[in-house]
Structure 1
Amino acid sequence: MSEGEGETSKAVRNTAAAAGTLGCLASPLILGGGVVIVIIIGGFGVLLAPVIALILLFGGGGGSDAANQDYGEQAQAAFEGDGKGELAEGTVPDDLLEPIEDAGGVCDAIGPVVIASQIMHESGFNKDLVGPDGEEGISQLPPEKFDEFGDDGDPFEPEDSIEAQGEYLCRLAEDVQGMIDAGEAEGEVLDLTLAAYEVGLEAVRAGHGIEGNTEAQAYVAGVRAQFARYQGIGGTLDPTVGPTPTST
Protein backbone atom coordinates (compact mmCIF):
# COMPACT_ATOMS: atom_id res chain seq x y z
CA MET A 1 0.00 0.00 0.00
CA SER A 2 1.28 3.42 -0.87
CA GLU A 3 1.69 6.49 1.23
CA GLY A 4 0.00 8.57 -1.46
CA GLU A 5 -3.65 7.99 -2.17
CA GLY A 6 -6.18 10.17 -3.98
CA GLU A 7 -9.53 11.41 -2.86
CA THR A 8 -11.32 8.57 -4.66
CA SER A 9 -9.31 6.04 -2.69
CA LYS A 10 -10.16 7.84 0.54
CA ALA A 11 -13.85 7.76 -0.32
CA VAL A 12 -13.66 4.03 -0.93
CA ARG A 13 -11.86 3.42 2.33
CA ASN A 14 -14.24 5.59 4.31
CA THR A 15 -17.29 3.70 3.02
CA ALA A 16 -15.90 0.16 2.87
CA ALA A 17 -16.51 -0.75 6.51
CA ALA A 18 -20.16 0.21 6.33
CA ALA A 19 -21.09 -2.17 3.53
CA GLY A 20 -19.70 -5.58 4.40
CA THR A 21 -23.05 -7.33 4.71
CA LEU A 22 -24.87 -5.80 1.74
CA GLY A 23 -25.59 -7.61 -1.50
CA CYS A 24 -24.79 -6.67 -5.09
CA LEU A 25 -26.39 -3.43 -6.25
CA ALA A 26 -25.68 -0.76 -8.81
CA SER A 27 -27.72 2.42 -8.56
CA PRO A 28 -27.02 5.43 -10.79
CA LEU A 29 -28.36 8.64 -9.28
CA ILE A 30 -28.84 12.03 -10.91
CA LEU A 31 -28.16 14.94 -8.59
CA GLY A 32 -28.29 18.69 -9.01
CA GLY A 33 -26.38 19.99 -12.00
CA GLY A 34 -26.65 16.67 -13.82
CA VAL A 35 -23.82 15.03 -11.90
CA VAL A 36 -24.02 11.27 -12.09
CA ILE A 37 -23.10 9.38 -8.95
CA VAL A 38 -22.90 5.64 -9.27
CA ILE A 39 -23.05 3.73 -6.01
CA ILE A 40 -21.87 0.19 -6.48
CA ILE A 41 -21.85 -2.59 -3.97
CA GLY A 42 -19.50 -5.06 -5.59
CA GLY A 43 -19.46 -8.83 -5.38
CA PHE A 44 -16.77 -8.63 -2.72
CA GLY A 45 -19.03 -6.65 -0.41
CA VAL A 46 -17.49 -3.19 -0.65
CA LEU A 47 -19.65 -0.11 -0.99
CA LEU A 48 -18.01 1.90 -3.74
CA ALA A 49 -18.99 5.53 -4.10
CA PRO A 50 -16.64 6.87 -6.79
CA VAL A 51 -18.22 10.30 -6.70
CA ILE A 52 -14.97 12.17 -7.04
CA ALA A 53 -13.73 9.94 -9.85
CA LEU A 54 -16.88 10.51 -11.86
CA ILE A 55 -16.84 14.25 -11.26
CA LEU A 56 -13.22 14.35 -12.46
CA LEU A 57 -14.02 12.25 -15.48
CA PHE A 58 -17.12 14.11 -16.53
CA GLY A 59 -16.03 17.64 -15.75
CA GLY A 60 -18.48 18.18 -12.92
CA GLY A 61 -21.48 16.72 -14.71
CA GLY A 62 -21.66 19.04 -17.72
CA GLY A 63 -23.85 17.98 -20.62
CA SER A 64 -27.24 16.35 -20.73
CA ASP A 65 -28.57 14.01 -18.09
CA ALA A 66 -28.76 11.30 -20.75
CA ALA A 67 -25.09 11.72 -21.62
CA ASN A 68 -24.08 11.68 -17.96
CA GLN A 69 -26.20 8.60 -17.39
CA ASP A 70 -24.42 6.89 -20.28
CA TYR A 71 -21.02 7.88 -18.92
CA GLY A 72 -21.99 6.59 -15.50
CA GLU A 73 -23.03 3.25 -16.94
CA GLN A 74 -19.75 3.00 -18.85
CA ALA A 75 -17.78 3.81 -15.71
CA GLN A 76 -19.70 1.17 -13.79
CA ALA A 77 -19.02 -1.41 -16.50
CA ALA A 78 -15.32 -0.51 -16.44
CA PHE A 79 -15.21 -0.87 -12.65
CA GLU A 80 -16.73 -4.33 -12.86
CA GLY A 81 -14.60 -5.41 -15.84
CA ASP A 82 -11.31 -7.27 -16.12
CA GLY A 83 -9.09 -4.29 -17.01
CA LYS A 84 -7.74 -6.10 -20.08
CA GLY A 85 -8.68 -3.44 -22.61
CA GLU A 86 -6.21 -1.17 -24.35
CA LEU A 87 -5.05 2.02 -22.69
CA ALA A 88 -6.82 5.07 -24.05
CA GLU A 89 -4.56 7.47 -25.90
CA GLY A 90 -3.05 10.18 -23.74
CA THR A 91 -4.00 8.70 -20.37
CA VAL A 92 -0.44 7.95 -19.24
CA PRO A 93 2.78 9.93 -19.73
CA ASP A 94 4.26 9.24 -23.17
CA ASP A 95 7.54 7.92 -21.80
CA LEU A 96 5.72 5.33 -19.67
CA LEU A 97 3.30 4.07 -22.32
CA GLU A 98 5.57 1.28 -23.58
CA PRO A 99 6.67 0.08 -20.12
CA ILE A 100 3.03 -0.04 -18.96
CA GLU A 101 1.92 -1.89 -22.08
CA ASP A 102 4.82 -4.33 -21.73
CA ALA A 103 3.99 -4.96 -18.05
CA GLY A 104 0.37 -5.51 -19.02
CA GLY A 105 1.41 -8.12 -21.56
CA VAL A 106 3.42 -10.41 -19.28
CA CYS A 107 0.42 -12.68 -18.63
CA ASP A 108 -3.22 -12.94 -19.66
CA ALA A 109 -4.54 -12.15 -16.18
CA ILE A 110 -3.17 -8.59 -16.03
CA GLY A 111 -3.71 -5.93 -18.69
CA PRO A 112 -2.17 -2.47 -19.14
CA VAL A 113 -5.28 -0.78 -17.75
CA VAL A 114 -4.72 -2.68 -14.50
CA ILE A 115 -1.06 -1.65 -14.43
CA ALA A 116 -1.83 2.04 -14.98
CA SER A 117 -4.74 2.02 -12.53
CA GLN A 118 -2.64 0.43 -9.82
CA ILE A 119 0.16 2.94 -10.34
CA MET A 120 -2.29 5.83 -9.99
CA HIS A 121 -3.74 4.31 -6.84
CA GLU A 122 -0.35 3.47 -5.35
CA SER A 123 1.69 6.57 -6.09
CA GLY A 124 -0.13 8.98 -8.38
CA PHE A 125 2.79 8.39 -10.80
CA ASN A 126 5.28 9.74 -8.25
CA LYS A 127 8.51 7.89 -9.06
CA ASP A 128 10.27 9.13 -5.92
CA LEU A 129 7.66 8.05 -3.39
CA VAL A 130 8.68 6.02 -0.33
CA GLY A 131 5.80 4.36 1.47
CA PRO A 132 5.30 4.08 5.24
CA ASP A 133 6.57 0.49 5.26
CA GLY A 134 9.46 1.14 2.90
CA GLU A 135 7.67 0.56 -0.40
CA GLU A 136 9.58 2.30 -3.17
CA GLY A 137 9.00 4.06 -6.43
CA ILE A 138 6.15 4.51 -8.83
CA SER A 139 4.76 0.99 -8.26
CA GLN A 140 5.38 0.93 -4.50
CA LEU A 141 6.88 -2.54 -4.30
CA PRO A 142 8.46 -3.59 -1.01
CA PRO A 143 12.27 -3.73 -1.42
CA GLU A 144 12.39 -7.51 -1.08
CA LYS A 145 9.81 -7.95 -3.83
CA PHE A 146 11.60 -5.52 -6.10
CA ASP A 147 14.84 -7.42 -5.50
CA GLU A 148 13.07 -10.63 -6.51
CA PHE A 149 11.28 -9.33 -9.59
CA GLY A 150 13.21 -6.20 -10.55
CA ASP A 151 16.00 -7.79 -12.60
CA ASP A 152 18.76 -5.83 -10.83
CA GLY A 153 17.17 -2.50 -11.70
CA ASP A 154 16.53 0.65 -9.70
CA PRO A 155 13.15 0.86 -7.89
CA PHE A 156 13.14 4.63 -8.41
CA GLU A 157 13.47 4.27 -12.18
CA PRO A 158 9.86 4.07 -13.41
CA GLU A 159 10.60 1.58 -16.19
CA ASP A 160 12.29 -0.82 -13.77
CA SER A 161 9.57 -0.42 -11.16
CA ILE A 162 6.77 -1.02 -13.66
CA GLU A 163 8.52 -4.06 -15.10
CA ALA A 164 8.82 -5.57 -11.62
CA GLN A 165 5.19 -4.70 -10.90
CA GLY A 166 4.02 -6.63 -13.95
CA GLU A 167 6.19 -9.65 -13.16
CA TYR A 168 5.07 -9.71 -9.52
CA LEU A 169 1.39 -9.35 -10.35
CA CYS A 170 1.60 -12.21 -12.82
CA ARG A 171 3.33 -14.43 -10.26
CA LEU A 172 0.59 -13.56 -7.77
CA ALA A 173 -2.09 -14.28 -10.38
CA GLU A 174 -0.56 -17.71 -10.99
CA ASP A 175 -0.46 -18.45 -7.26
CA VAL A 176 -4.01 -17.16 -6.77
CA GLN A 177 -5.31 -19.34 -9.59
CA GLY A 178 -3.69 -22.31 -7.89
CA MET A 179 -5.40 -21.45 -4.62
CA ILE A 180 -8.78 -21.13 -6.35
CA ASP A 181 -8.30 -24.45 -8.15
CA ALA A 182 -7.36 -26.12 -4.86
CA GLY A 183 -10.40 -24.70 -3.07
CA GLU A 184 -8.21 -22.58 -0.79
CA ALA A 185 -9.77 -19.26 -1.84
CA GLU A 186 -12.89 -17.95 -3.51
CA GLY A 187 -13.22 -14.92 -5.74
CA GLU A 188 -12.09 -13.43 -9.03
CA VAL A 189 -8.44 -13.95 -9.96
CA LEU A 190 -7.91 -10.23 -10.55
CA ASP A 191 -9.45 -9.20 -7.23
CA LEU A 192 -7.46 -11.74 -5.25
CA THR A 193 -4.27 -10.83 -7.11
CA LEU A 194 -4.62 -7.14 -6.35
CA ALA A 195 -5.48 -7.96 -2.75
CA ALA A 196 -2.38 -10.14 -2.46
CA TYR A 197 -0.24 -7.23 -3.72
CA GLU A 198 -1.64 -5.15 -0.87
CA VAL A 199 -2.01 -7.51 2.09
CA GLY A 200 0.11 -10.49 1.03
CA LEU A 201 -0.70 -13.86 -0.48
CA GLU A 202 -0.87 -15.63 2.86
CA ALA A 203 -3.48 -13.18 4.16
CA VAL A 204 -5.64 -13.98 1.14
CA ARG A 205 -5.12 -17.69 1.70
CA ALA A 206 -5.87 -17.41 5.42
CA GLY A 207 -9.10 -15.55 4.71
CA HIS A 208 -10.12 -18.00 1.97
CA GLY A 209 -10.32 -14.92 -0.24
CA ILE A 210 -11.02 -11.32 0.70
CA GLU A 211 -14.51 -11.58 2.13
CA GLY A 212 -14.42 -9.75 5.46
CA ASN A 213 -10.98 -8.24 4.86
CA THR A 214 -11.78 -4.54 4.71
CA GLU A 215 -8.26 -3.44 3.82
CA ALA A 216 -8.03 -5.85 0.90
CA GLN A 217 -11.53 -5.03 -0.32
CA ALA A 218 -10.90 -1.31 -0.20
CA TYR A 219 -7.63 -1.69 -2.10
CA VAL A 220 -9.28 -3.69 -4.89
CA ALA A 221 -12.08 -1.14 -5.13
CA GLY A 222 -9.60 1.73 -5.18
CA VAL A 223 -7.69 0.25 -8.13
CA ARG A 224 -10.86 -0.70 -9.99
CA ALA A 225 -12.21 2.83 -9.56
CA GLN A 226 -9.42 3.99 -11.90
CA PHE A 227 -10.30 1.61 -14.76
CA ALA A 228 -12.68 4.06 -16.42
CA ARG A 229 -9.99 6.74 -16.48
CA TYR A 230 -7.51 4.57 -18.35
CA GLN A 231 -10.11 3.27 -20.76
CA GLY A 232 -10.80 6.88 -21.73
CA ILE A 233 -14.36 6.99 -20.46
CA GLY A 234 -15.55 10.56 -20.03
CA GLY A 235 -12.63 12.13 -21.84
CA THR A 236 -8.87 12.26 -21.40
CA LEU A 237 -7.33 13.73 -18.26
CA ASP A 238 -3.86 15.17 -17.88
CA PRO A 239 -1.79 11.99 -17.29
CA THR A 240 0.62 13.87 -15.03
CA VAL A 241 -2.09 14.89 -12.56
CA GLY A 242 -2.67 12.29 -9.87
CA PRO A 243 -3.59 12.01 -6.22
CA THR A 244 -1.79 14.20 -3.74
CA PRO A 245 0.31 11.94 -1.47
CA THR A 246 -0.95 11.85 2.09
CA SER A 247 -0.12 9.65 5.03
CA THR A 248 -2.36 6.63 5.60
Structure 2
Amino acid sequence: MSTAVKAGAAVGGLGCLMSPIALTVGISSVFVIGGFGVLFAPLIALILFFTGGGGGGDTGDPPDLDRIAGIIQGDGQGEFDPTSVPEGMADAITEAGALCADIGPVAIAAQIDQESGFQTDRTGPEGEQGVSQLPPEVFARLGKDDDDNGETSALDPADSILAQGRFMCELAEQVSPLASPEPLSDVMSLTLAAYDAGLEPVLEAGRVPRTNASQQYVMAIRAKFAIYEGAVPASPSTQDIEGQ
Protein backbone atom coordinates (compact mmCIF):
# COMPACT_ATOMS: atom_id res chain seq x y z
CA MET A 1 0.00 0.00 0.00
CA SER A 2 2.94 2.32 0.63
CA THR A 3 3.71 2.21 -3.10
CA ALA A 4 0.28 3.62 -3.88
CA VAL A 5 0.64 6.34 -1.25
CA LYS A 6 3.99 7.43 -2.63
CA ALA A 7 2.62 7.42 -6.16
CA GLY A 8 -0.35 9.49 -5.05
CA ALA A 9 1.93 12.07 -3.49
CA ALA A 10 3.97 12.36 -6.66
CA VAL A 11 0.95 12.77 -8.88
CA GLY A 12 -0.82 15.02 -6.43
CA GLY A 13 2.06 17.46 -6.71
CA LEU A 14 0.80 18.36 -10.16
CA GLY A 15 -1.89 20.41 -8.45
CA CYS A 16 -4.82 21.76 -10.44
CA LEU A 17 -3.78 19.89 -13.60
CA MET A 18 -5.11 16.65 -12.15
CA SER A 19 -8.78 15.89 -11.49
CA PRO A 20 -9.73 13.51 -8.63
CA ILE A 21 -10.67 10.83 -11.16
CA ALA A 22 -7.36 11.06 -13.00
CA LEU A 23 -5.49 10.98 -9.70
CA THR A 24 -7.37 7.88 -8.58
CA VAL A 25 -6.74 6.13 -11.89
CA GLY A 26 -3.04 6.95 -11.69
CA ILE A 27 -2.75 5.63 -8.15
CA SER A 28 -4.67 2.44 -8.96
CA SER A 29 -2.55 1.76 -12.01
CA VAL A 30 0.70 2.06 -10.11
CA PHE A 31 -0.56 0.03 -7.17
CA VAL A 32 -1.35 -2.97 -9.37
CA ILE A 33 1.53 -2.74 -11.82
CA GLY A 34 4.02 -1.51 -9.25
CA GLY A 35 6.44 -4.18 -10.42
CA PHE A 36 6.96 -2.08 -13.52
CA GLY A 37 8.30 0.76 -11.40
CA VAL A 38 6.93 3.80 -9.55
CA LEU A 39 9.02 5.88 -11.95
CA PHE A 40 6.10 5.89 -14.39
CA ALA A 41 3.32 6.97 -12.00
CA PRO A 42 3.13 10.61 -13.19
CA LEU A 43 3.42 9.51 -16.84
CA ILE A 44 0.50 7.08 -16.58
CA ALA A 45 -1.70 9.53 -14.72
CA LEU A 46 -1.02 12.37 -17.15
CA ILE A 47 -1.69 10.20 -20.19
CA LEU A 48 -5.01 9.04 -18.77
CA PHE A 49 -5.93 12.62 -17.83
CA PHE A 50 -5.08 14.30 -21.11
CA THR A 51 -6.64 11.53 -23.21
CA GLY A 52 -9.91 11.74 -21.34
CA GLY A 53 -9.29 9.80 -18.13
CA GLY A 54 -10.14 12.90 -16.12
CA GLY A 55 -13.37 13.55 -17.93
CA GLY A 56 -15.45 10.87 -16.31
CA GLY A 57 -17.54 10.41 -19.47
CA ASP A 58 -20.88 12.04 -20.19
CA THR A 59 -22.51 10.59 -17.07
CA GLY A 60 -19.84 11.71 -14.61
CA ASP A 61 -19.61 8.17 -13.23
CA PRO A 62 -16.25 7.25 -11.71
CA PRO A 63 -14.11 4.80 -13.69
CA ASP A 64 -14.03 1.12 -12.82
CA LEU A 65 -10.59 1.09 -11.21
CA ASP A 66 -10.30 -2.68 -10.96
CA ARG A 67 -11.08 -3.03 -14.66
CA ILE A 68 -8.66 -0.27 -15.64
CA ALA A 69 -5.84 -1.71 -13.54
CA GLY A 70 -6.40 -5.17 -15.01
CA ILE A 71 -6.38 -3.81 -18.55
CA ILE A 72 -3.14 -1.89 -18.08
CA GLN A 73 -1.49 -4.93 -16.57
CA GLY A 74 -2.91 -7.30 -19.21
CA ASP A 75 -1.96 -8.47 -22.66
CA GLY A 76 -3.81 -5.84 -24.71
CA GLN A 77 -6.19 -8.41 -26.18
CA GLY A 78 -9.41 -7.30 -24.54
CA GLU A 79 -12.55 -6.31 -26.44
CA PHE A 80 -11.83 -3.38 -28.76
CA ASP A 81 -14.17 -0.38 -28.65
CA PRO A 82 -14.45 0.81 -32.30
CA THR A 83 -15.96 4.14 -31.22
CA SER A 84 -12.70 5.04 -29.45
CA VAL A 85 -10.80 5.61 -32.71
CA PRO A 86 -11.29 8.09 -35.57
CA GLU A 87 -14.02 7.27 -38.05
CA GLY A 88 -12.82 5.02 -40.85
CA MET A 89 -9.96 3.37 -38.93
CA ALA A 90 -11.76 0.78 -36.81
CA ASP A 91 -12.00 -1.89 -39.52
CA ALA A 92 -8.29 -1.74 -40.36
CA ILE A 93 -7.36 -1.79 -36.66
CA THR A 94 -9.62 -4.79 -36.07
CA GLU A 95 -8.13 -6.63 -39.05
CA ALA A 96 -4.56 -5.82 -38.03
CA GLY A 97 -5.27 -7.05 -34.51
CA ALA A 98 -6.54 -10.38 -35.83
CA LEU A 99 -3.42 -11.30 -37.83
CA CYS A 100 -1.86 -13.34 -35.02
CA ALA A 101 -2.72 -14.61 -31.56
CA ASP A 102 -0.28 -12.40 -29.64
CA ILE A 103 -1.48 -9.00 -30.92
CA GLY A 104 -5.00 -7.62 -30.58
CA PRO A 105 -6.72 -4.48 -31.91
CA VAL A 106 -6.55 -2.74 -28.53
CA ALA A 107 -2.75 -2.85 -28.65
CA ILE A 108 -2.72 -1.73 -32.29
CA ALA A 109 -4.93 1.28 -31.49
CA ALA A 110 -2.96 2.26 -28.40
CA GLN A 111 0.29 2.06 -30.34
CA ILE A 112 -1.08 4.24 -33.14
CA ASP A 113 -2.14 6.79 -30.55
CA GLN A 114 1.37 6.81 -29.12
CA GLU A 115 3.13 6.88 -32.49
CA SER A 116 1.11 9.52 -34.31
CA GLY A 117 -2.02 10.52 -32.41
CA PHE A 118 -3.92 9.12 -35.44
CA GLN A 119 -2.45 11.78 -37.74
CA THR A 120 -2.50 10.26 -41.21
CA ASP A 121 0.02 12.71 -42.69
CA ARG A 122 2.62 12.58 -39.95
CA THR A 123 6.30 12.28 -40.98
CA GLY A 124 8.88 11.16 -38.43
CA PRO A 125 12.53 12.18 -38.02
CA GLU A 126 13.83 9.08 -39.85
CA GLY A 127 11.35 9.26 -42.72
CA GLU A 128 8.57 7.33 -41.00
CA GLN A 129 5.18 8.18 -42.48
CA GLY A 130 1.54 7.76 -41.61
CA VAL A 131 -0.40 6.73 -38.55
CA SER A 132 1.81 3.77 -37.64
CA GLN A 133 5.19 5.48 -38.18
CA LEU A 134 6.90 2.37 -39.51
CA PRO A 135 10.51 2.71 -40.61
CA PRO A 136 10.50 3.17 -44.41
CA GLU A 137 12.39 -0.08 -45.02
CA VAL A 138 9.84 -2.01 -42.93
CA PHE A 139 6.89 -0.53 -44.77
CA ALA A 140 8.57 -1.25 -48.11
CA ARG A 141 8.78 -4.90 -47.09
CA LEU A 142 5.42 -5.37 -45.38
CA GLY A 143 3.18 -2.70 -46.87
CA LYS A 144 0.42 -3.71 -49.28
CA ASP A 145 -2.50 -2.02 -51.03
CA ASP A 146 -4.85 -3.02 -48.24
CA ASP A 147 -7.46 -0.39 -49.05
CA ASP A 148 -7.57 -1.44 -52.73
CA ASN A 149 -7.13 2.11 -54.04
CA GLY A 150 -4.51 1.13 -56.59
CA GLU A 151 -1.41 2.20 -54.62
CA THR A 152 0.57 1.12 -51.59
CA SER A 153 1.26 4.10 -49.37
CA ALA A 154 2.16 4.59 -45.73
CA LEU A 155 -0.04 7.69 -45.87
CA ASP A 156 -3.09 5.48 -46.47
CA PRO A 157 -4.33 4.51 -42.99
CA ALA A 158 -5.33 0.95 -43.93
CA ASP A 159 -2.02 0.27 -45.68
CA SER A 160 -0.10 1.66 -42.70
CA ILE A 161 -2.14 -0.12 -40.03
CA LEU A 162 -2.09 -3.55 -41.69
CA ALA A 163 1.68 -3.27 -42.21
CA GLN A 164 1.96 -2.38 -38.52
CA GLY A 165 0.00 -5.51 -37.63
CA ARG A 166 2.25 -7.70 -39.79
CA PHE A 167 5.36 -6.20 -38.22
CA MET A 168 4.03 -6.60 -34.67
CA CYS A 169 3.21 -10.25 -35.35
CA GLU A 170 6.65 -10.79 -36.84
CA LEU A 171 8.31 -9.25 -33.78
CA ALA A 172 6.08 -11.14 -31.36
CA GLU A 173 7.17 -14.44 -32.87
CA GLN A 174 10.83 -13.51 -32.52
CA VAL A 175 10.67 -12.28 -28.92
CA SER A 176 8.28 -14.92 -27.56
CA PRO A 177 11.11 -17.30 -26.50
CA LEU A 178 12.28 -14.57 -24.08
CA ALA A 179 8.90 -14.18 -22.38
CA SER A 180 8.71 -14.75 -18.63
CA PRO A 181 6.50 -13.75 -15.67
CA GLU A 182 8.98 -11.03 -14.72
CA PRO A 183 7.84 -7.40 -15.14
CA LEU A 184 8.41 -6.05 -18.66
CA SER A 185 9.22 -9.55 -19.91
CA ASP A 186 5.82 -10.58 -21.26
CA VAL A 187 5.34 -11.01 -25.02
CA MET A 188 3.37 -7.77 -25.41
CA SER A 189 5.94 -5.61 -23.61
CA LEU A 190 8.83 -7.24 -25.46
CA THR A 191 7.10 -6.75 -28.81
CA LEU A 192 6.34 -3.09 -28.16
CA ALA A 193 9.94 -2.49 -27.11
CA ALA A 194 11.24 -4.20 -30.25
CA TYR A 195 8.94 -2.06 -32.41
CA ASP A 196 10.32 1.09 -30.81
CA ALA A 197 13.98 0.33 -30.10
CA GLY A 198 14.63 -2.45 -32.60
CA LEU A 199 14.73 -6.21 -32.20
CA GLU A 200 18.44 -6.52 -31.46
CA PRO A 201 18.46 -4.46 -28.21
CA VAL A 202 15.57 -6.55 -26.88
CA LEU A 203 17.24 -9.84 -27.77
CA GLU A 204 20.49 -8.68 -26.18
CA ALA A 205 18.78 -7.54 -22.98
CA GLY A 206 16.47 -10.55 -22.80
CA ARG A 207 13.72 -8.15 -21.70
CA VAL A 208 12.60 -4.61 -22.33
CA PRO A 209 15.90 -2.66 -22.38
CA ARG A 210 16.67 -0.89 -19.12
CA THR A 211 16.46 2.57 -20.65
CA ASN A 212 13.96 5.29 -19.87
CA ALA A 213 13.01 5.58 -23.54
CA SER A 214 12.12 1.90 -23.97
CA GLN A 215 10.37 1.47 -20.65
CA GLN A 216 8.39 4.70 -20.99
CA TYR A 217 7.28 3.69 -24.50
CA VAL A 218 5.94 0.37 -23.23
CA MET A 219 4.26 1.88 -20.18
CA ALA A 220 2.75 4.75 -22.14
CA ILE A 221 1.06 2.34 -24.54
CA ARG A 222 -0.09 0.07 -21.71
CA ALA A 223 -1.67 3.10 -20.03
CA LYS A 224 -3.70 3.68 -23.20
CA PHE A 225 -5.09 0.13 -23.37
CA ALA A 226 -7.97 1.23 -21.11
CA ILE A 227 -9.03 3.89 -23.61
CA TYR A 228 -9.38 1.45 -26.49
CA GLU A 229 -11.28 -1.09 -24.41
CA GLY A 230 -13.73 1.69 -23.54
CA ALA A 231 -12.85 1.78 -19.83
CA VAL A 232 -11.58 5.36 -20.07
CA PRO A 233 -13.17 7.95 -22.39
CA ALA A 234 -11.23 8.75 -25.55
CA SER A 235 -10.26 12.38 -25.90
CA PRO A 236 -12.52 14.49 -28.14
CA SER A 237 -9.51 15.58 -30.19
CA THR A 238 -8.71 11.96 -31.02
CA GLN A 239 -12.30 11.14 -31.94
CA ASP A 240 -12.56 14.16 -34.19
CA ILE A 241 -9.67 13.18 -36.47
CA GLU A 242 -11.03 11.88 -39.74
CA GLY A 243 -9.76 8.58 -41.11
CA GLN A 244 -8.98 8.72 -44.82
Counterparts in 2 of 1:44 and 1:34: CA distance versus 1, 3 Å: closer
Residue 83 (structure 1) aligned with residue 38 (structure 2):
no
After superposition, the C-alpha distances for 1:155-212 in whole angstroms (9 at most, x for unaligned) are 110000000000000000000013449xxxx810100000000000001112221252
Partner residue of 2:139? Answer: 146
Residue 53 (structure 1) aligned with residue 47 (structure 2):
yes
Q: Which has the higher helix share?
A: 2
Displacement after TM superposition at 1:51 (Å): 2.2
Q: CA RMSD in A?
A: 2.9
State the alpha-carbon separation in 1 of the partners of residues 173 and 161 from structure 2: 18
Identity of aligned residues (%): 38
After superposition, the C-alpha distances for 1:14-41 in whole angstroms (9 at most, x for unaligned) are xxxxxxxxxx955685968633422415
Secondary structure, counterpart of 2:83 in structure 1: coil
Partner residue of 2:216? Answer: 218
State the alpha-carbon separation in 1 of the partners of residues 134 and 36 from structure 2: 24
Q: TM-score, normalised by structure 2?
A: 0.76
State the alpha-carbon separation in 2 of the partners of residues 180 and 233 from structure 1: 27
Counterparts in 2 of 1:97 and 1:214: CA distance versus 1, 3 Å: same
Partner residue of 1:120? Answer: 113
Partner residue of 1:20? Answer: none
Q: TM-score, normalised by structure 1?
A: 0.75
Q: Which amino acid aligns with 1:79?
A: I
Give structure 1 stretches of 5+ with no counterpart. Answer: 1-23, 243-248
Counterparts in 2 of 1:226 and 1:241: CA distance versus 1, 3 Å: farther
Give structure 2 stretches of 5+ with no counterpart. Answer: 146-151
Displacement after TM superposition at 1:63 (Å): 8.2
Q: How many residues align?
A: 212
State the alpha-carbon separation in 2 of the partners of residues 236 and 61 from structure 1: 9
Partner residue of 1:101? Answer: 94
Bigger RCO of structures 1 and 2 (CA < 8 A, at least 6 apart): 1
